[in-house]
Structure 1
């Protein structure tokens, strides 16, 4: 839970132990948006313990509940703002690299290996290999690791990809540096991609398959399907 807290850690030994421990992990990930400090984490654990033990609550939950959502919103905005500040520095640096091209949307494209084939349009379906990274270099998705190229309609992915792939030719490998506004926005895609995150993709355009008839439904926010390319960011 964010900054963590005191208390002895219990190692899961049996299969049931592992299930209950995993339940705790899941709860922790669901409240990661709060970025809890150690003293705040202790209060959360106290409330959880009281609820499990069916003790009389120390506060009126129905009265305080709206404040929970307000706190989550404020902390998410603050975290997204911090991510955008870090991301802007990366975008500015990428735009100054030799051979880089910055589009009006803020997307920076740099060719790593030229291609000689055709370029797709937004109605096409493409086949690619790619790796996605955060500003700190953390790889959050990679078709290379799966050893399985991805196929998707350009209308079914984040704007960064829709714009970037249309600037590429078949056979080309390029690096796309994507500001949050044309990636996953302030919401991000927890727990993998934080709100406000600038993303860097290395993309190889292998093939233009055909015009897409109907774009697939994007995974819900927060879902993690390693076999899906970047889905459209949720609209505000």
Structure 2
């Protein structure tokens, strides 16, 4: 299966860019509008392998979109921004055991306390993690994804928030950006985790794992 990586550089002067940037649900629908309707009556995002991440770089804000079907960029509103798409096949095919890589993922690091613990401490069903607890969560996820971390830097991000259109239910996913270097320990497992995403909130900008070759110096 081919995976596609799309990079969108939004024009911050565009009205729709502001609407999407302020609401994770709006951005989810914007992303889904780049693909045909009726692909799957249940869980179309998962069927299309759609994952995305927003991030800020020295060149400005951008949206990175991963999917198993090439998106129709003509569906973006006129003037929304510049966009380009490329296949991830060469990168995925080049993975091998022991290969040093750089990684990046904006993830919803959480724990789910048991019923007794929730009742005792009046906790919600899902508790967001931060600091060393979030780092521990990502270390475990990385190991379970075929990566052995060598460096780890984490940065808290703004929470992804919005309201679902069907029932006005509030969407809220805490996000932490994890990035650093690692070695591949299981290429096949890593390909699967890149394809499927990691953790909760995948429909709203969480869980997309990106890697790139890391050239070490001696």
TM normalised by structure 2 equals 0.29
Identify, as 1 or 2, the structure richer in strand: 2
Structure having the higher Rg: 1
Q: Higher RCO, 1 or 2 (CA under 8 Å, sep at least 6)?
A: 2
Larger fraction in helix = 1
TM-score (norm 1): 0.27
